[in-house]
Amino acid sequence: MQQQQQSKIKLGYWDVRGRGEPIRLLLNYLKLEYEDEIYPLSDREKWFNFKRNSQELFINLPYVQIESKETQSQSIYVESDSISIFICQNFGGEQLLGKDLVLLSKMRGVTEDVKLYLSRYAYHNDFAEADQLFLQKRLQPILLRLNTYLQNYKYLLGSNISYLDFVLYESLKTLEKIKKEYLQSHTYLVQYIKNIENIPQIKAYLSSERFHKDFLFYGDPSPI
């Protein structure tokens, strides 16, 4: 029996999009009910209190807390990738893990590289310098390869969507926020974004009040 029939899901994260947003996209794709537990960056004491009292040895943000409706027992899962895998395995999303573990691992590495250089770009105190150091030298070659790859595939693992697509999608939307015109020359990345945004569950989420339109993509001191 799938846990979505008997469990409450709570997602804890800062009041930014960051690493929490791909998990929200996944939850909405699977049509799961969940509660956002928002920790304000402007007042971190709420998070510190929770952290001090948590029994999870590796407690971090984001986390997902699962509460059984039958037994009232609670369990917490941390680290973005393992959270997504747990959700897929336990809430009817096994198909989002793909069938090729080697391909999944490879594309996870690619999406992590994109996130790494985007975050360095976003947090750099000189955007002009960051443009050369991280966008042109580091990020652009990866995006060109992804653009070529997506000529032949609708999603990262082929014709079927995976949880990694929500990670890459959020990174591309972040880049679009920083430098809107940049992606326009990457035809297949633009189409890739449209493919995800046209999924009925995702389209509904993005147009809902639940979508955090005003959240920054990153926290202080990044301006985006």
Q: What is the CATH number of the domain that holds 148?
A: 1.20.1050.10
pTM of the model: 0.93
- Domain's final residue, options 45, 80, 96: 96
Query: Where does the pLDDT of residue 4 fall: very low under 50, low under 70, confident under 90, or very high at 90 and above?
Result: very low
Tell whether 73 and 127 lie within a shared domain. no
Tell whether 108 and 194 lie within a shared domain. yes
Residue 152 has pLDDT above 60, yes or no: yes
What is the per-residue pLDDT across 205-220, written as a single tens digit (0 to 9) for each?
A: 999 999 988 778 887 7
**How much is the pLDDT for 2?**
45
**Poorest-confidence range of 36-40, 50-54, 130-134, 148-152?**
130-134
Residue 78 has pLDDT above 80, yes or no: yes
Q: Does the residue 220 lie in any domain?
A: no
Q: Does the residue 12 lie in any domain?
A: yes
Tell whether 155 and 83 lie within a shared domain. no
Tell whether 142 and 188 lie within a shared domain. yes
Residue 1 has pLDDT above 50, yes or no: no
Tell whether 80 and 21 lie within a shared domain. yes
**How much is the pLDDT for 224?**
72
Tell whether 102 and 92 lie within a shared domain. no
Domain count, the chain: 2
Q: Residues 69-88: what's their mean pLDDT?
A: 93
Tell whether 177 and 137 lie within a shared domain. yes
Residue 183 has pLDDT above 60, yes or no: yes
Tell whether 191 and 103 lie within a shared domain. yes
Domain of 85, in residue numbers = 3-96
SS3 for the chain is CCHHHCEEEEEEEECECHHHHHHHHHHHHCCCCCEEEEECCCCCHHHHHHHHHCCCCCCCCCEEEEEECCCCCEEEEECHHHHHHHHHHHCCCHHHHCCCHHHHHHHHHHHHHHHHHHHHHHHCCCHHHHHHHHHHHHHHHHHHHHHHHCCCCCECCECCCCHHHHHHHHHHHHHHHHCCCHHHHCHHHHHHHHHHHCCHHHHHHHCCCCCCCCCECCCCCCCC
Q: Does the residue 27 lie in any domain?
A: yes
Q: Does the residue 186 lie in any domain?
A: yes
What is the per-residue pLDDT across 102-132, written as a single tens digit (0 to 9) for each?
A: 999 999 999 999 999 998 888 888 878 888 8
Mean pLDDT of the chain: 92
